[in-house]
Amino acid sequence: MPQQGNTSGLAGITAGETALSTVGKEGLDLTYRGYSIRDLAEGASFEEVVYLLLYGILPSRTELDRYKNLLLSLRDLPAALKTVLEQLPPTANPVDVLRTGCSALGTMEPEGEDRDAHAIANRLIASFPSMLLYWFHFHRSGKRIETRAEAHPTVADQFLFLLRGEAPSSLHVRALDAALVLHAEHEFNASTFTCRVIVSTLSDFYSAITGGIGALRGPLHGGADEGAMRLLERFSTPEEAEAGIRGMLEKKEKIMGFGHRVYKKGDPRAPIIKSLAKQLAAEAGDRTLFPIAERIEEMLLSEKGLYPNLDFYSAVAYHFLGIPTFLFTPLFVISRASGWAAHILEQRANNRLIRPIATYIGPAPRPFPKLDER
């Protein structure tokens, strides 16, 4: 099919096939393996979604229980990895901590005949929260936390428990669980495409995920949730926000958490995360942050025709879950690791080296001057 329009940044270019999700396909909205994101966010746990992505089917109750137990058994970190985490600076960006943790684990538990891609995917999904919060507490208080948290069987529950050191409410676990579902998979976004490019060279699983983390970190992609929070915190009333955003738009500054490469009429995940954020704000008795966020949303739509993407109200939801802003993007890593893993498996199942070509815009051929002649 001919591809039209401005294709810089590969916009609108079909770069391969996937059976994992539909993003912005007319009449299809966002689905993971055919299931609507609304149904999954409402009715499925993150673990069910990970199973769906990695194994291709929704688990039965018995399969799900077995899978949750498997993930639980993979939460502990090797001693050598704890040492690595302890050696990282307390000032490190926590996304870099996960990137380094992933790469380091790849040297300790490399991919090979006795450790296949599914095993590594499960290991990383189970141990990313452990790595992050082990590093966090060690550098905050010198405490070497136990990461297994047996009494907290899901990733959402374990994450909130390890962060706070006390059992989270069921509303909080459910909200984080749904947020993880919403962040799990999104077709050929920049970080997923990075993973696919890396494994297309027949490189290993850890290298692909490490690269994916690097791509997700940027503020135009997964890092936008932290940018959105820092923006929201600058204002104390909706009126102040309106004036501030107007000024930013006049200066042609980007508003983090708005716009999307594919969804030009709204991100289908945004209303779902917005409704969770609203519930959490109400529970916290908030009368400030949520109204500020809504005013910014109204303004961006009327002034620029821009809609919030997943990151904008994720920031609000995470804030009311008591998650520090610098842990927002690491949470995205924890969830998206499932989508990356599924794409790595899919790429490998029908691999061809990904290697596009460029339009050359450099100088015409010219004589080469020797060093002394320059």
Ligand X SMILES: O=C([O-])CC(=O)C(=O)O
Ligand Y SMILES: CC(=O)SCCNC(=O)CCNC(=O)[C@H](O)C(C)(C)COP(=O)(O)OP(=O)(O)OC[C@H]1O[C@@H](n2cnc3c(N)ncnc32)[C@H](O)[C@@H]1OP(=O)(O)O
Q: Which residues bind ligand X (CB under 6 A)?
A: 186, 189, 260-262, 309-310
Beta pairing, strands 35-36 & 29-32: antiparallel
Of the residues 186, 267, 311, 343, only one is catalytic, namely 311
Minimum gap (Å) between residue 4 Cβ and ligand Y: 15
Active site residue 260: yes
Q: Judged by CB under 6 A, which stretch of 104-112, 236-244, 250-258, 318-326 contacts ligand Y?
A: 250-258
Say how far apart CA 84 and CA 104 lie, in whole Å: 8
Q: What is the dihedral of CA 274, 275, 280, 285, to 10 degrees?
A: 100
Does the footprint of ligand Y cover residue 339 (CB under 6 A)? no
Minimum gap (Å) between residue 334 Cβ and ligand X: 14
Query: Of residues 257, 268, 330, 339, which one binds ligand Y by CB under 6 A?
Result: 257
Residue of minimal Cβ distance to ligand Y: 259
Helix (H) / strand (E) containing 31? strand 29-32
Does the footprint of ligand Y cover residue 296 (CB under 6 A)? no
CB 275 within 8 A of CB 314: no
Q: What is the DSSP string of 239-300?
A: HHHHHHHHHHHHTT---TTB--SS-SS--TTHHHHHHHHHHHHHHTT-SSHHHHHHHHHHHH
Active site residue 311: yes
Helix, strand or coil, per DSSP, at residue 25 = strand
258 binding partner (options ligand X, ligand Y, none; Cβ < 5 to 8 Å by kind): ligand Y
Minimum gap (Å) between residue 96 Cβ and ligand Y: 18
Q: What is the DSSP string of 76-119?
A: PPPHHHHHHHHHS-TTS-HHHHHHHHHHHHHHHS--BTTB-HHH
317 binding partner (options ligand X, ligand Y, none; Cβ < 5 to 8 Å by kind): none
Query: Of residues 33, 38, 174, 254, which one binds ligand Y by CB under 6 A?
Result: 254
* C-beta of 9 vs 165, nearer to ligand X: 9
Does the footprint of ligand Y cover residue 212 (CB under 6 A)? no
Query: Of residues 255, 315, 327, 331, which one binds ligand Y by CB under 6 A?
Result: 255
Among all residues, which ones are annotated catalytic? 260, 311
